[in-house]
Amino acid sequence: MTGRPAGAKVGRDIGRYVGRFAPSPSGPLHAGSLVAALASWLDARAHQGRWLLRFDDIDGPRSVPGIERLILQQLAAAGLEPDAPPLWQSQRGPHYAQALAVLRERRLAYPCGCTHRDIDDRLAALGIAAPRGAGRIYPGICRRGLTGKPARAWRLACGSEDAPVFIDWHDRRLGAQHQDVTHAVGDFVLQRADGPWAYQLAVVVDDAEQGVTDVVRGEDLADNTARQIHLQQLLGLATPRYLHTPLVRDERGEKLSKSNGAAPLDLREPLAALRAAAVALNLTVPDSNSVTDWLPNAVGAWRQRWLQGSEWPV
């Protein structure tokens, strides 16, 4: 299976470009998240397209109440205004349930009753030294039935030894990419044991609903793309184009993140933050004194850097 078979709907029938920024509201924007926001905004503006905002707030416990307002203020201070009211994932449960129902009907999704302990025990019995957490590859224990255990999560049956799911895809910055999803990831979760919908399912359903033609986001998410393309193909949804941006790292070389204490973006210094984001994007932007003057220069620089030879009208 490939990410872009001949004749596949890529970029949604070339209509109008739609881009998006999808922050998780677990904290204010910081220098790293501004890079993704700016890059997706620039790409949308350079294509004369629309730029949408989505709050990935399905992960209830990690979402900080009210942080969305601050994120909107931070974006507005940086001149990055969405073209429509934001979408909240927490309000979209029925749509995810519908997608899961489609996969269940086709026997591609199955209930799983395993705890982390069950999975680790089975992996140990198989002699597989497994990383803890999200890195473990599920050894398929419940594929043939729950054997009396109560269902906890829903998983996607993701290929088999004989017929692995192999996804080829193209990243506008990183070039040709491929992943054997069966062996690299295994039967991934669609709905978690504690209730929330998994990011992989939600992002695919929402990108389709919002008509997203181009996903521009941080490189740390590149590894999820093959899973998302696989789900798009199973659900008959268009595959957007992808561009993963460089990550901003701290002095220890770690990705800046809310969890490792990255400083929130200073609302009083938006231009300085935008300049730093442009540097992280390797973009040379003719300087100016205000956000309103700087942004069109940045759009011009982005257009030169990323739209040469583009299949899109410039």
User: Per-residue string for binding with ligand GLU, 165-184, x by CB under 6 A?
Assistant: --------------------
In terms of CB distance, is 27 or 270 closer to ligand GLU?
Answer: 27
For 60, other C-beta atoms within 10 Å of its C-beta total 10
Encoding tokens for residue 171?
Answer: 């990243």
Q: Which residue has the tokens 């025990």?
A: 121
Determine the size of the site formed for ligand GLU (CB under 6 A).
7
In this chain, which of 43, 56, 57, 187 binds ligand GLU, going by CB under 6 A? 56
Least Å distance between CB 227 and ligand GLU? Answer: 11
Distances in Å between the Cα of 306 and the Cα atoms of 43, 241, 258, 299 are 8, 13, 29, 10
Residues 6+ apart with CB under 8 A from 147: 113
Q: Nearest CA to 92 among 203, 248, 10?
A: 203
Kindly state whether residue 37 participates in binding ligand GLU, applying the rule CB under 6 A: no
Q: What is the DSSP letter of 257?
A: -
Kindly state whether residue 23 participates in binding ligand GLU, applying the rule CB under 6 A: yes
Q: Could you tell me which stretch among 17-25, 184-192, 248-256, 305-313 binds ligand GLU (CB under 6 A)?
A: 17-25
| DSSP structure string for 152-167 | -EEEE----SSS--EE
In terms of CB distance, is 119 or 238 closer to ligand GLU?
Answer: 238
Kindly state whether residue 80 participates in binding ligand GLU, applying the rule CB under 6 A: no
Least Å distance between CB 52 and ligand GLU? Answer: 12
Q: Could you tell me which stretch among 16-24, 232-240, 245-253, 287-295 binds ligand GLU (CB under 6 A)?
A: 16-24
In angstroms, the CA 168 to CA 178 distance is: 4
Encoding tokens for residue 195?
Answer: 């209730």
In terms of CB distance, is 142 or 203 closer to ligand GLU?
Answer: 203
Interacting residue ranges for ligand GLU, rule: CB under 6 A: 22-24, 56, 203, 217, 221
